[in-house]
Amino acid sequence: MARSRVLVDLGPLRKFPQFRLLWSGYVVSSLGNQLTVVAVPYQIFRITHSSLDVGLVSLAQLVPLLAGSLVGGTVADRMDRRRLLLVSQSLLASTSVGLALNAGSAHPALWPLFVCSACQAGFSGVDGPTRAAIVVSTVDRESVVGANALWQVLYQLAQIGGPAVAGVLLARFGVRPVYWVDVVSFGASLACISRLARVPPSRSKADHEPWLSEVAGGLRYLRGHQVLQAIFLVDLNAMVFGMPRALFPALGLVRFHGGAGAVGLLYAAPGVGALVGALATGWVAAIRRQGLAVLVAVGVWGASITAFGLVPSFAAALALLALAGGADVVSAVFRSTILQLDAPDELLGRLQAVQTAVVTGGPRLGDLEAGAVASIAGTEISVVSGGLACLAGLAVLSRLLPRFARFERGASGAAGARAEQCGPGKDRCGGVEG
């Protein structure tokens, strides 16, 4: 097989300066963000010595994240998306400033960690849909798959590299410098975003409806679009039933008798597999049956998680988690591409908000499901039953949403007009606004 059909396609970075700017800025800020993701629970545990308090941070983030996503998606459809990115990134930086100032006090308080984390989640709910909606305007239609694959590479690099760097910095310098490094990292993304061309809304102010009506409008649009329903429901099914990360501490310490190191490897394995999968996505642009590809990828995910719950070997368990991570990243690339090309531009921000709510809220619900089943039936049964439930749910959704399996790239004309706006040399895609 030719090299270009195996390795990730770097064409979008070479051909589209606007995408290159956006991607480069987020590489730096995403790495910085992962420092804070590790530092906050670390600092909470150092203050309280309570794992429950650490877990409550995730709960404190859920509602602001969901609310921010729905509101942010609506805002992204009403204003210049470049300007909104500048605002959301600035607000995210301010939360890290708050964390750094609290960490620098003689007696750091607990409540700022919860408040700043909740605000950060809400602002991320605005930033995520806006960034995803703007990606499609920085490349041409044929390059959207490659752009999404490169974004997955960025995400997985941050997921793996950020925590590793955070561990070194925390051990040597403590939490305060880590937060300040995160603040500085936002400077790179702000500098790059400020150089993007404007991305004004496709509708005039006269066409805007009341806020709640516009939020509901995005949800109403889904009722008649089976393909878009499927990309959300299929992923939600996989994350709620087939995401056993809440069980990794128990599995690493009790089942595999490996101590803290084994727990860390279990958390890292899906990310390693996802990074390898993202780097080897050169072939995805040639796939026309994208709906079927998502179903197959999620099927591999569910089967891998089921097998992970059964194998006695720690090495085999890590390999299966890595395989699951690779399948998940393939699913993510196709799902993002289908959404960006099948949704109308005037609704893209709101529909991306639903995607953000599913992607970020699903794993948190999965933690609850896995922990609840484990408390009743044990960790192994929780993992295996979750994997089997994922496969069963996938079969049900395939039967209820048959159009999704038949969906082909280029079959929908919803975004056809947008494709005419993009291409090498076009101001909105390849040029830099002066």
Tokens found for residue 376: 């009743």
Q: Could you say which of 153, 174, 201 is where a domain stops? A: 201
Which of 434, 432, 423 is closest to 20 using CA atoms?
432
Give the pLDDT confidence score for residue 74 in this predicted structure.
Answer: 77
Tell me whether residue 24 is in a domain: yes
Buried b (16+ CB within 10 A) or exposed e, 197-212: bebebeeeeeeeeeee
Pair 194, 231 in one domain: no
Pair 120, 255 in one domain: no
Pair 174, 249 in one domain: no
Total number of domains in the chain: 2
Residue 3 structural domain: 1-201
Give the pLDDT confidence score for residue 399 in this predicted structure.
Answer: 93
Pair 135, 187 in one domain: yes
Pair 316, 181 in one domain: no
Tell me whether residue 237 is in a domain: yes
Which of 319, 77, 292, 110 is closest to 205 using CA atoms?
77
Pair 218, 130 in one domain: no
Alpha helices in 81-225, H assignment, sequence order: 81-103, 111-135, 144-173, 175-193, 211-223
Q: 95 with 127: CB under 8 angstroms?
A: no
Distance of CA 58 to the CA centre of its chain: 16
Q: Could you say which of 157, 176, 201 is where a domain stops? A: 201
Tell me whether residue 422 is in a domain: no
Pair 165, 247 in one domain: no
Measured CA to CA, the distance from residue 301 to residue 433 in angstroms comes to 42
Going by C-beta distance under 8 Å and a sequence separation of 6 or more, which residues neighbour residue 312? none
Tell me whether residue 362 is in a domain: yes
Pair 17, 77 in one domain: yes
Which of 376, 386, 363 is closest to 304 using CA atoms?
386
Q: How far apart are the first and last CA of the chain?
A: 43
Going by C-beta distance under 8 Å and a sequence separation of 6 or more, which residues neighbour residue 220? none
Give the pLDDT confidence score for residue 218 in this predicted structure.
Answer: 65
Tell me whether residue 118 is in a domain: yes
Q: Count CB-CB contacts under 10 A for residue 412.
A: 16
Measured CA to CA, the distance from residue 197 to residue 193 in angstroms comes to 9
Measured CA to CA, the distance from residue 358 to residue 360 in angstroms comes to 6
Give the pLDDT confidence score for residue 167 in this predicted structure.
Answer: 75
Pair 144, 224 in one domain: no
Report in angstroms the alpha-carbon separations of 110 from 45, 102, 178, 180, 426: 10, 9, 17, 18, 50
Pair 265, 387 in one domain: yes
Q: 295 with 405: CB under 8 angstroms?
A: yes
pTM, two decimals, is 0.70
Q: Could you say which of 201, 229, 248 is where a domain stops? A: 201
Pair 250, 385 in one domain: yes
Give the pLDDT confidence score for residue 385 in this predicted structure.
Answer: 95
Tell me whether residue 77 is in a domain: yes
What is residue 217's DSSP assignment?
H
> 3-state SS of 303-360?
HHHHHHCCCCCHHHHHHHHHHHHHHHHHHHHHHHHHHHHHCCHHHHHHHHHHHHHHHH
Tell me whether residue 191 is in a domain: yes
Pair 135, 40 in one domain: yes
Tell me whether residue 430 is in a domain: no
Q: How many CA atoms lie within 13 A of 348 on its CB side?
A: 30
Give the pLDDT confidence score for residue 349 in this predicted structure.
Answer: 75
Residue segments in the chain with a per-residue pLDDT below the cut of 70: 1-5, 51-52, 54-55, 202-218, 259-261, 264, 410-434
Give the pLDDT confidence score for residue 204 in this predicted structure.
Answer: 54
Give the pLDDT confidence score for residue 418 in this predicted structure.
Answer: 41
pLDDT tens digits for 327-373?
999 999 899 888 888 777 777 777 877 887 788 778 877 877 888 88
Say which CATH number the domain at 389 has.
1.20.1250.20
Measured CA to CA, the distance from residue 68 to residue 128 in angstroms comes to 10
